[in-house]
Amino acid sequence: MSYILVYILQCCFNVCKALEIRYTYENRLWPILLVGLALSVMMVLGLYLSIGALLEGDWFMIVVYVAGSVSGKFLSWHINKKKYRNKVYNLIK
């Protein structure tokens, strides 16, 4: 059960981190604050569960933690790649 929860928390954390960057780019204050609050809760809960399991000798939790993080980064990249690719390209150009 804790494996699934840590995996989901890490995926959501990375997606919300991308949202926070996007809202900062768009200068939207309230979404930044709400996503920041959600990030803090997810970070504390995910670390609590994963470090607690690690201290009990469950080394597989490291694999779940990293897999959730990588999956979340891929998911946020996949969601946002088409929406902001042209805007970033035009800024650099």
pLDDT(1) > 90: no
pLDDT digits (tens, 9 = 90+) for 17-29: 988 988 888 898 9
Residue 17: count of CB within 10 angstroms of its CB: 18
How many structural domains does the chain have? 1
pLDDT tens across 31-73, in order? 999 999 999 999 999 999 999 999 999 999 999 999 999 999 9
Q: How far is CA 73 from the centre of its chain?
A: 7
Q: Which two three-digit tokens encode residue 37?
A: 């609050």
Residue 49's pLDDT is what?
Answer: 93
pTM summary value? 0.81
Model confidence band, residue 77 (pLDDT cutoffs 50, 70, 90): confident
Q: Residue 72 belongs to what domain range?
A: 2-92
Amino acid at 43: M
